[in-house]
Amino acid sequence: MYLRDGAATWREMKGRVYGTASTVAEEPRRAFFLQLIQEDRGLACQPEVRRKLKEILRSQSFNKLQIEYGDITMKRHFITLFALPLLIALPFLAKAQIPNAGFETWGSCDPVGWATSNGECVAYSNVTQSSDVHSGTSAARGEVIFFVIANIEPVLQSGSGGEGFPISQRYAEVHGFYKFSPVSGDRFGVNVAFYKNGSPIAQGIIADSTTRSSYTEFVVTMNYTTGDVPDTAIIQMLIVGPGIGDWHVGSVMIVDDLSFSGVVSVDGNESPIPAEFKLSQNYPNPFNPITNIRYELPRESFVTLKVYNLLGQEVATLVNDRQSAGYKSVEFDGGNLVSGVYFYRLVVGDASSASAQRFLETKKLVLVK
């Protein structure tokens, strides 16, 4: 009956729903619909099935139950990675090319260019606009809510109707910023997939159960299975439970400022020449006791990367050398430090002379033991 793990086909399901309209009494019909929501709310029905469900409800005056899975339209397949259901379909490009990457523009219900788990804002809305931002004026907030008989997890999926948007680069990473307040082991999850002619060629995933009371950068590394250049991409952000389908009421995520980083060549290596100097937020953050710091050099440079405490005292030198252009990553081990707030500073050029510095940036990291 349900569209999961090789269960009934679209045709079989549509046949059952269509048959229900004239052969099932009111209460069993209502039970059928609610069971469908409870068992399969992580997937979206095809439009004609959703329309029929609404017709069934309206015919029985179930006005308060005119809910759907949102506007997410799925292809017939999906991929499960580390127990996160990955909704796959479509395309992208760098930060300014990700439609509404900062969730600044909203329609009557959803952020423009995104599909959500909202029931068309008729019966419920568990993805809403938030003024708690990383930058700009708005972000997207998702919360696990209880509706009728089931907990409904929040889902954001890129593209109108969840169909994604086009890309033409082999991007190495997807970045974004998030806050997360979990209940009972729930996790914040990000699923990303790139497609070529409808077939998946790259996938990436993260899942984090840590409370993030301040904005933290997430980094999803894309793993390519072919040498093709993708034409389609999709990003999905959601809350998942510690198990399967057991998310808890009150878990909240807030997401903002999505972007791409790096390009992977056909041989699987990142392009050696970034477009500009860049220092990324360490990940994970907060951390215990190891975290990674990434930065980008568009040309050969003398690089200094140091860590300081709140008093401005140097506690670690991670890099102090001339480096070639490229994408760099350094591991920082805070095992010998006490819990607290620290800062890391990247200086490109002569660190002793401000006039000789090409680039300088400082970011905060938090050690929690």
The ranges of the chain annotated as CATH 2.60.40.2550 are 278-367
Model confidence at 298, pLDDT cuts 50, 70, 90, reads confident
Residues 75-99 pLDDT 10s: 222 233 333 444 433 333 333 378 8
In this prediction, residue 351 carries a pLDDT of 54
| Rounded mean pLDDT, 236-242 | 92
Average pLDDT of the chain, as a whole number: 75
| pLDDT above 60: residue 272 | no
In this prediction, residue 74 carries a pLDDT of 29
Q: Residue 116's closest CA among 131, 129, 134, 133?
A: 129
**351 or 196, which is more confident?**
196
The span from the CA of 354 to the CA of 347, in Å, is: 10
Model confidence at 327, pLDDT cuts 50, 70, 90, reads confident
Least confident of 6-15, 165-174, 337-346: 6-15
Is 155 buried (19+), middle (13-18) or exposed (0-12) by CB count in 10 A? buried
| pLDDT above 90: residue 31 | no
The span from the CA of 281 to the CA of 135, in Å, is: 15
The span from the CA of 122 to the CA of 48, in Å, is: 19
In this prediction, residue 293 carries a pLDDT of 93
| Rounded mean pLDDT, 231-242 | 92
The ranges of the chain annotated as CATH 2.60.120.890 are 79-263
Residues 305-324 pLDDT 10s: 999 999 999 999 999 999 88
Least confident of 1-5, 28-32, 100-104, 210-214: 1-5
Residues 164-176 pLDDT 10s: 889 998 888 899 9
Q: Which CATH architecture has domain 278-367?
A: Sandwich (2.60)
| pLDDT above 60: residue 133 | yes
Pick the CATH number of 79-263 from 2.60.120.890, 3.40.50.720, 2.40.40.20, 3.30.70.1060: 2.60.120.890
